[in-house]
Chain A
C-alpha cells in the first residue's frame, strides 16, 4: 500500500495548486483575493485561517497596519494601547524589531507575492470569465502589485526585496531593488503603471465597482511623482502634474457637495456606511462589509478605536469603543480649523486637549470622522455592531485638488494659482466655511501652508499624513514638534533616520542580500 502515500487534499475548500485553474471561474476568485488582501485578514473572517503569522490576526489587517504607521507618528494622532511596541509608533522611537512595522512589511510583501502568483498564472492566458478577460485581470493584478510596491518604497525605501512573477515560490533569497535613495523601485513602479494605465477600465464616477481603473493608476502616479524628492531622487513635479491633470480633466469626478437630505454634512457622507453611493468623488476604495467581508482592521478599526470616554457608540453604528486613537492639539487647536468648518469633527465632551498620560483616552480630543451609519441614520448591516460597512477611501478627488494646488505653489509650469484658487475654494465651500476664512493668497502660494494645514484640514486621519510631512521635510528633525514626538511630553527633535522605517530584523535575518536602512 505504498501508493496510499500519494494523497491530495480531500477538504472541500482546498484545491490543489496543480489544477486550480482547470476551472476558469477560479480566475475571478483568485483576483478577488488580491483585492480582498487589503480588507480581510484570512479566509474565515473576521479572524481565522489568517494570511500571515507572527501577530494577532485582527491587528494584522493591511490598512490597519498602514494607517497606524502613516498616522500615529504624526501631529494628527496618538494611541495609548499597551500593545507590545505599539506606543513606539506614536513616539517615533521604533526599532528594527517593532512587530507592528514587521507586520505591515509582511502584509505588503504577502500582497506582492500573491499578485506575482496570479500574474504568473494569467500571463499568456486569454479567456473571458464572467465577462472579464484574464488579460484585464492580469493588468489589475499588476496595478495592485505596483500599489503595494509604492507602499514599500514610501515606507521602507529602495532597499527592499524585489520579486516579480518571474521568480517562483520557494527557498530563494530575493535581491534588493537597489540601495536606499536609488531609483530602481521608483522607475519600476512608474513604468508598470504607465504600461498598464491605458488598458485599465475607464473611470465611472459615482459607479465605482471597487476594481482599479485608469484614474486609480493616475492618482498613484501623481502621488509617486509628487514625492520623488522624498525618495532621494530629483524632483518630478512635471510628471506629477501630468497625471494629476488626467484625473482632474479626464476622470469626470466631482466633489460630493450634496448630503442627499442626510443629517450628516456632505463631507461626512464620505465616511459613512454607504459612502460608496455618496456621489462621484471616490476614485478607488477598499470595500468593507459588515456581514460578508469582515475583519478587525480597516474602517472597523478606525471607527471602534476612535470611540471612548463619554462617546456614544450607538451614534457611530457600532457596539462599543476600543478607546485607542485620539488627536492632539496640533490637529485640533485653533491652528488647524479657522472657524466653523464641516470638516471639524472633533469630540471634546469629557476630553481634555492637553495630553499628560498618553494611555488615557480622555486626554487629547477625540475624532468623530468614521461612522457606521447610513445617510438615512441607520446603523450598518452587521446587527452585532462589530464590523462596519464603511469603505476605506484610497483616492478621492479632493486629494487631486490638493496635489494640484501644491504643484501650483511649487510653480510647476502649466499649473496656475488661479486654477488652484478654484479648487481650494471648492473644498472650503463644500465644508461651508465663511468666505472670509478661505485661503489667503499667501497661503495659496505657500507649499508649507498647503501641506501642513490644508491637507490636514481635508485629509486628516485618512492615512496620508506621514508621507505629507516627509515631503514637507518636517516629519523628523526639530523644526516642527508635537506632543510625544520622540517620546517627550512636549515633543523633541528626532533623527532623520525615521523618515524611512527599518527593514524588519526578521527579514534581514532571513535574507542576507538585504541591507538595513542607515541609523537602525
Chain B
C-alpha cells in the first residue's frame, strides 16, 4: 500500500505494524509499504509523529492506501514550564518559547546567540568577540545590585549554577547549539515562582533534541567562517605622534631621542582575520521501536581576531527516551559531554596596542633587546632592565604569554515519569541530575618576557572541580471534572540540590624554583545545599478561566537556621476571551487572552561565599605571614589567623512582581503577539554597605538594606506578511521599555549619603566612575559636568560648580545617565521563495550610555612622555586633537557618551535542494554575515558594552560564513 499525508503527498517513514505484534515496517521514500500477514492478522496500525494513529482492517485487500490525518492535539503548542508543561493556550504566566526553526544561524559557538534579540524583555550583551565569549543576560532589568542578576538556567530539568567554570568564559557553552530544541523564557513571577529562591531574574529552560520513533536519521551540519576586524581605535599616526613629541619637548634631546624610526600600526599587529570551522553529526531513530535515541558529536575550531586566541571544542550528547510498562513509565535520559581547549590571548594587548609608541617595531634587532627574545621594550637607563610601569609590548604580550585551559564537563540526568496503573490520573516523576566539570589551566611566561622580567617569568597553574547533584521528585494529579465543567492539575514536589567545588591555584617564576613561591599552593573548597518543597495548582473552569497557584518553600545552607527558609507564593489568572461567545465566531480576532500575575521570588545567590552568616577565621598564605625575630636577629614567620566579618541575620532578597499581559491573534493568526506590563519591587536588597566602624570585623558588609524597582512594558508582534504556496514572509518585532530605580539603600536615613561607588576604571588607582544611589538607576555615572568653549571643545579642568562654593570636589559631581538602555528592540525577518530563504535579525538599543575609558585614559598630552627610569613614550588617543587635555580628566562627563545603536546582527541566504536521491537526502546550503553593521553616535569602538565602561574590550568580529546541512 501507500501512505499519503493530508495534502495527498506520499509520506515516508510511517510505521505500519500488525496490531498486537512488532511485525511490520516503515514506508519507503515513496510512501510505500509491504507486509506479509499470517492467518488472523487482519488489522494494521499506522502511526507517524504529528498524525493521528489509525487502525486499518485489511479484509481481503492486497493494496491498501492510507491517508493520514493531522493530529491537532499533538500539534498544539506545548510549552515547558518548571516541573511540567502546559498547552500554550492554557499558560497563565509570561512565558515565551523559541524553537530551533526560529534560531539565529551561523558562526555560533555560544547558545545564547541563538535567541539574541528574539524575546521581548531579554537583553543579551556578549562580553566581547573572543572565541566562546560569554554574555550578560538580563531579563527585565536586574533585580539586584550586588547579588547575581543572571537568570536561572535549567538544562533538561537540571538547574545549573551560573557562577562560571574556570577556564571557560561561558557556562552555557556546555551545550552545543545544534543540540538545542527549545529555549523557554519564564519572565514573570507567576511563571518563575516554582523555582523560588533562584527565580528573581527569570528562568531560561533549555530542552535538547530527542530521538523519535521511525527511521534512522542522520544529519550533518558544517560551516566555515572568516572573522574580520570591523574597526580599530583612532590613535595618533606615526607622524602626528612625532610632531606632538617634538612640539611638546622642543630641544629636550633626552625626550626626543627616544623617538624611533619605524612606522608601526600596533592594532594591526595584534588583530587580524581568523578562520573557524564547525562540524556536527547527529543520528536519531529508534532501536527496535522501543528505544528512541538521539546521539550527536560536534567539533568546533574557533580562531579569534586577537592573535593567538583560540578555542577547540568537542561535544557529544546522547538522549534516550524509552517507554516501558505499556507506556506507563516514560524514561528520559540525557547525557552531554564537552571538552573545550581554550587558548586565551591577553586582552591587555588591546590596550597596550593603543598606547605603544608607533615609532618602535615589535621586534627590534638591536642587541639590547636580545635578552627579551628581540621584542622591543622600554629599558630603565639606571637598571638596564625593563621599566616596570611602562606599557608592555603588545605583540610580546600575545606571543610570550601562553594562557591555556582545558575543561571537561558532563551534564546528565535521568527522568522517570510513571503513570500509576491503578490511577492513571496520578503521575510520579523522579529526576536525578549530575553536573560535573573539571578545569585545568595555566599561564606560562618565559623569563625573557620583558613584561614579566621582574618576576622571572610566570608559571601559574590552576584547577577547578565542580559538582552539582540534583534530586527532584514530584507527584501530579490531573482530573477532568466534567460535572462542574472544570479541570484540575495538582503537582507537589521535593527538590534537593548540592553544589560543591574545589579550586587550586599556585604561582611562581617560570622555572618554578623560587622559594617560597610567589603564591603558595592553595586549595579552596566550598559547598552549599538547597532543599525545597513546592506545589502548583492549575484550575480550569469552562475551558477559558484559568487559575494557577504556586508555592515554593526553599531552604538554603547559605543562611542561618533562623533565616534560611523562604516561602515564595504566586498567583495567576488568565481569561481566554476568544472562547467567549462574543468572540468565538469573530473572523478578525483569532486569539485573545488576558493574563494577570503576581508572585514573590527570592535571591540566595548573593556573591558572598557560602557561609556569610557564620563567624569564621581564615589562615594566611605563607606570603602573608608576620615576621618576628629571635634575639640574634634571625627572622621567624608566624601564620596569621584572621577573624572575618559576618552578618548573622543575612537573608533572601525578595522580589514581588505584578504582571498584566495580553496574548493576541488577528486574522486567523496572521498577526500574533503579546503585550505585558510589569512592575518588580525588590526588598531586602543586598548591598555592600559601610558597617558602623567598630561594630564588625570588617569595614564593609553585604547585608539586606535596600529597595529597588523595575517597571516596564514589553510588546511583541509577529506578522505573516505573505503566505502563498511559493512565497512566505514572516516578520517579527519586539520592543521593551524598562525603568530601573533604586528606592532605598541604607539602614539609616542619611541625606548626606551619596551612595555606593562602583565601576572601577583604568587610570590611577581605585578610581570609580559609577554610583548606586537612591532615586537613580543602578550604576549611574557620577561625573563632573564639563564646560565647553565657544567652539564646542571641552575646557580642561573646567567643570560646573554645582553648589557654587568655589571649589570643584565630589559635591559637584552629578549622576548622569546609566549603562542600561531604556528601550530596546529586536526585529527579525524570514522570507522563503520556493527553495530559497532569506532572513535577517537586528537590534536597537536606546538610551544606553558608555564611559569611554579608552579615550579618557589615553587622551591626555602629559602621558606622551614619562620620565621614570630615564623616560619612555606612549601613543595617545586621537581624541587629544579635539580636547587638547594636558592631564587626565577621568571624571568629565565628556567621556560619558551616548551609545544607542542599531546593530544588524545577522543576515542569511539559504537554498534547499529537494528531491535529491528521491527524497532520501536533504541538502541545504547557506551563507551568513554576522555583526553586519552598527549605526551609533558612540565615539568608541563598539557601543555594546556590558556594565558601561569601555576599556580593553575584545572587538566583536564581523563574520562571513558558509555552511551546509545534510540529512539522510
Contact surface of A with B, Cβ cutoff 8 Å:
1-2, 4-18, 20, 26, 28-30, 32-33, 35-36, 39-40, 42-46, 48-49, 51-56, 58-59, 81-86, 88, 93, 95-97, 99, 105-106, 109-110, 112-114, 116-117, 160-163, 167, 169-174, 204, 207-211, 276-277, 287-289, 291-294, 307-315, 319-323, 350, 359-362, 383-386, 504-512
Q: In the complex, A26 Cα to B526 Cα: how many Å? A: 22
Known: A54-B700, A114-B642. A59 touches B765 (CB 8 A): yes
Would A510 and B746 count as touching, CB distance under 8 A?
A: yes
Task: Say yes or no: A35 contacts B382, CB within 8 Å.
Answer: no
Structural contact, B616 and A207, CB atoms closer than 8 A: no
B251 CB within 8 Å of chain A? no
Q: Are A506 and B888 in contact (CB under 8 A)?
A: no
- Distance, CA A89 to CA B600, complexed state (A): 48
Q: Could you say which of B498, B638, B868 contacts A29, with CB atoms under 8 Å apart?
A: B638
A97 to B867, Cβ gap below 8 A?
no
The listed residue (B498, B635, B694, B768) touching A289 by CB distance below 8 A is B635
Contact A320 B454 (CB under 8 A): yes
Whether the pair A81, B698 counts as a contact (CB closer than 8 A) is no
A308: contacting residue among B631, B765, B768, B868, CB under 8 A: B868
- With contacts A83-B766, A291-B623, A510-B689 taken as known, whether A321 is within 8 angstroms of B638 at the C-beta atoms is no
Name the residue among B557, B690, B748 with the largest chain A CB count within 10 angstroms.
Answer: B690
Please, which residues of chain A bring their CB within 8 A of the CB of B753? 505-506, 509
Given contacts A58-B765, A83-B766, A85-B810, A20 and B617 within 8 Å (CB-CB):
yes
CA distance A261 to B519 in the complex (A): 36
| A10 partner residues in chain B, CB cutoff 8 A | 525-527
Among B14-22, B207-215, B643-651, the one that faces the other chain is B643-651
Provide the B604-645 mask, 1 if CB < 8 A to any CB of A, else 0: 000000110011111111111111111111010111111101
Q: Told that A16-B617, A169-B615 touch, could you supply 15 new A-B pairs with CB distance under 8 A?
A: A17-B616, A29-B639, A29-B640, A43-B619, A43-B621, A43-B640, A81-B764, A117-B643, A117-B697, A167-B695, A170-B695, A170-B696, A204-B631, A209-B629, A314-B383
Contact A323/B698 with A84-B764, A171-B649 known, Cβ cut-off 8 Å: no
The answer to the question of B693 belonging to the interface, with a C-beta cut-off of 8 Å to chain A, is yes
Residue from B382, B617, B624, B688 in contact with A53 in the complex, judged by beta carbons closer than 8 Å: B688
Q: Which residues of B contact A8 (CB under 8 A)?
A: 611, 614
The answer, yes or no, to whether B232 is at the interface (CB within 8 Å) is no
From known contacts A84-B764, A314-B383, infer whether A508 and B752 are also in contact, taking CB-CB under 8 Å. Answer: yes
Q: DSSP class of B's interface residues: helix, strand, loop or mixed?
A: loop
> B617 contacts A114, CB within 8 Å?
no
Contact size class for B?
35 or more
A207 to B631, CA, bound (A): 5
CA distance A58 to B766 in the complex (A): 10
Give the residue of A59, A97, A350 whose beta carbon is less than 8 angstroms from that of B810: A97
Which residues of chain B have C-beta atoms less than 8 A from A96's C-beta?
Answer: 752
**A11, A51, A312, A314, most chain B CB atoms within 10 A:** A11
A residues near B689, Cβ cutoff 8 Å: 510
- Interface segment among B134-142, B349-357, B384-392, B656-664: the answer is B384-392
Across the interface, do A20 and B693 meet the contact criterion of CB distance under 8 Å?
no
CB pair B692–A161 under 8 Å, yes or no, is yes
Write the B354-386 contact mask toward A (1 if CB under 8 angstroms, else 0). 000000000000000000000000001111111
Q: Which of A9, A109, A170, A320 contacts B611 (CB 8 A)?
A: A9
Q: Which of B638, B692, B887 has the most CB of A within 10 A?
A: B692
CA distance A51 to B642 in the complex (A): 9
Q: Can you give 20 contacting A-B residue pairs, CB < 8 Å?
A: A7-B529, A32-B641, A43-B620, A43-B624, A44-B519, A54-B757, A55-B766, A82-B763, A169-B696, A171-B695, A211-B628, A293-B625, A294-B623, A312-B381, A313-B869, A359-B887, A509-B690, A510-B692, A510-B748, A512-B748
Residues in B whose Cβ lies below 8 Å from that of A505: 752-754
Contact of B496 among A4, A16, A95, A383 (CB under 8 A): A4
Residues on the B chain within 8 Å of A310, using CB: 381-382, 867, 870
Closest to B382 in A: A312
Return the chain B residue nearest A308 by Cβ.
B868
Query: Is B387 in contact with A11, judged by CB distance below 8 angstroms?
Result: no
Identify which of B382, B529, B649 gathers the most chain A CB atoms within 10 Å of its CB: B382
Partner among B389, B524, B767 whose Cβ is within 8 Å of the Cβ of A320: B389
- Chain A residues near B528 (CB, 8 Å)? 7
Residue of A nearest to B645 (CB): A169
Complex contact A53–B642 (CB within 8 A): no
Q: Which of A170, A323, A386 has the most CB of B within 10 A?
A: A170
**A43, A210, A361: which contacts B618 (Cβ < 8 A)?**
A43
Contact between A105 and B693 (Cβ–Cβ < 8 Å)? Answer: yes
Residue of A nearest to B503 (CB): A11
- B747 interface residue per 8 A CB criterion: yes
Q: Which residues of B contact A114 (CB under 8 A)?
A: 642-643, 697
Contact between B867 and A17, CB atoms less than 8 A apart:
no
Are B693's CB and A40's CB within 8 A? Answer: no
Q: Is B257 an interface residue (CB 8 A)?
A: no
